[in-house]
Structure 1
């Protein structure tokens, strides 16, 4: 019986680990986003948003229509079989998810190109706190005392970072709240193929933005560099990480995914300091150190479980 329980525990750990890997991979990728966004900083934020969304939508629709016809049919059948109340809920979650993504992308690009890289980094440090709070009150996700301590550490780190930079914090809360809302809404959005769901979100965003392009869009870019960066953003920094994100949400809590999101700004902060040569203060280094500790504390139960498993394997061999 004990041996059977150990096997179940190991199987659960392995299953959970793949969702952690998906989330970590997504947020590590996003941490490098400034490398491809900064080279086109001279273009208006709206133009970058338009071309990013349109490109993503076209690519995902092509993939879905060519390789995912079976999943499209299954998704439609699942939706038709839902009770009326569940249909309404599903529609709201998916339309809301698309709206949250649009808001997040625009504010992120605007702040990245017109405020600072550090301000966008702070946004994704605020986001895990907002995600945890929203998940606690809306989804009723339970947190241990250790995890609440981690949230407290994150808040203290953000307070340190916002010292003498109130406007950075204001922009950060706006960016963070849009993505926190997306994470929480998609944790509740279950039962459908994740790629089809993401295709719907991005295509709806493209359809909403399309009428605004002739009015608010600038001259059509002619530089090859612009299109190279846009396609890289569309595939590497949008489709792949968003899909990994939705996959992670299907296996672990939104608060956990939210806390892992701290990986993104920590990498972005490193790039701001060492690659873009932005001015970094000892206060900022201390704050990021506190937040890094918070991530480890929040996920300590899983880290210790992996360590224990590795110890057991080494003893067995």
Structure 2
């Protein structure tokens, strides 16, 4: 792949996301639900402001397009957009819980297997076809998961749930082409915030007073949500989503290295073999893009993140 400003933007987006634990781990003593509440609320407010201040023309054009659609298409766009909000917020909650209460390694594994889980869901739900090499990659990944389940079933269980919620988000959004992606994500966050709002008084803890909480939340919203999303959207203007999709693996690889060398989490030989097999499956799964001289389309499409 020829490196240019679009590839650089995609690489930087996933590279930044790989260090998400730096902002999240200091909040491990806060309930995962509280972190979800504030991330959704602050992200929704920030993205609304961005749309109102900088993207009013895009909002107006999308609204006019939506009004011109047939009622059946309008219903489809609404269901896919709001349903995507449910899957995305579920993924955020599970990821926060896994990162802070299970292990960084389990969070890393979730996004290593996520693209392959997404492809399997797309095959089952959308009837998308898989190549022979992609089926081999799925089999290798499945075998590595069996190895991990021997002594680390909890890590595998939470990793699969995290991967599945994000995979369901991607599959549900694959058909949602009737609205601007950034605007769609804004609507999803507003919808999620409105759904969570009635539960906030009863299920949230005391209002955080620590400066550390708001400093970390600022980093989560700005540096690990808004900025990488802008970079991702910018990259998709110049390269196809399959090329961006390869770079999603930068995130979990950095997570895994941090778990091993920074957080000093215990990694057994069996876990190392399993992670290695997953990396092999990633290479096999993307063999057409990695080893072909001509760009090709890939079954897994990655739009947006976290």
Counterpart for residue 207 of structure 2: 220
Counterpart for residue 252 of structure 1: 241
Distance in 2 between residues matched to 1:260 and 1:291, nearest whole Å: 15
Q: Is the alpha carbon distance of 1:260 and 1:98 closer, same or farther for their aligned partners in structure 2, counting shifts above 3 Å?
A: same
1:32-90 deviations in whole A, cap 9, x for unaligned?
21111111111111111111111111111111001111011111111111111111111
Counterpart for residue 40 of structure 2: 53
Counterpart for residue 173 of structure 1: 160
Counterpart for residue 179 of structure 2: 192
1:133-186 deviations in whole A, cap 9, x for unaligned?
111222333332122222222222222222212222222222111100011111
Q: Is the alpha carbon distance of 1:253 and 1:116 closer, same or farther for their aligned partners in structure 2, counting shifts above 3 Å?
A: same
Counterpart for residue 232 of structure 1: 219
Q: Is the alpha carbon distance of 1:151 and 1:260 closer, same or farther for their aligned partners in structure 2, counting shifts above 3 Å?
A: farther
Distance in 2 between residues matched to 1:128 and 1:216, nearest whole Å: 33
Query: Which segments of 5 or more consecutive residues in structure 2 lack a partner in the other structure?
Result: 296-306
Distance in 1 between residues matched to 2:263 and 2:293, nearest whole Å: 36
State the TM-score, normalizing by the size of structure 1: 0.83
Distance in 1 between residues matched to 2:9 and 2:91, nearest whole Å: 21
Q: Is the alpha carbon distance of 1:45 and 1:177 closer, same or farther for their aligned partners in structure 2, counting shifts above 3 Å?
A: same
State the TM-score, normalizing by the size of structure 2: 0.86
Counterpart for residue 30 of structure 1: 17
Counterpart for residue 296 of structure 1: 283
SS in 1 for 2:241: coil
SS in 2 for 1:239: helix
Distance in 1 between residues matched to 2:231 and 2:171, nearest whole Å: 15
Query: Which segments of 5 or more consecutive residues in structure 1 lack a partner in the other structure?
Result: 1-12, 309-317
Instruction: After TM superposition, list the pairs within 5 Å mapping 1:82-121 onto structure 2.
Output: 82-121=69-108
Distance in 2 between residues matched to 1:271 and 1:22, nearest whole Å: 22
- When the two chains are superposed, the root-mean-square deviation of aligned CA atoms in Å is 2.8
1:79-135 deviations in whole A, cap 9, x for unaligned?
111111111111110011100011111111112212222222222234223201111
Alpha-carbon shift at residue 19 of structure 1 (Å): 7.6
Alpha-carbon shift at residue 233 of structure 1 (Å): 0.6
Q: Which has the larger radius of gyration?
A: 1
SS in 2 for 1:65: helix
Alpha-carbon shift at residue 275 of structure 1 (Å): 0.3
Distance in 1 between residues matched to 2:75 and 2:10, nearest whole Å: 29
Distance in 2 between residues matched to 1:282 and 1:116, nearest whole Å: 17
Q: Is the alpha carbon distance of 1:145 and 1:243 closer, same or farther for their aligned partners in structure 2, counting shifts above 3 Å?
A: farther
Alpha-carbon shift at residue 253 of structure 1 (Å): 5.6
Q: Which one has the bigger helix percentage?
A: 1
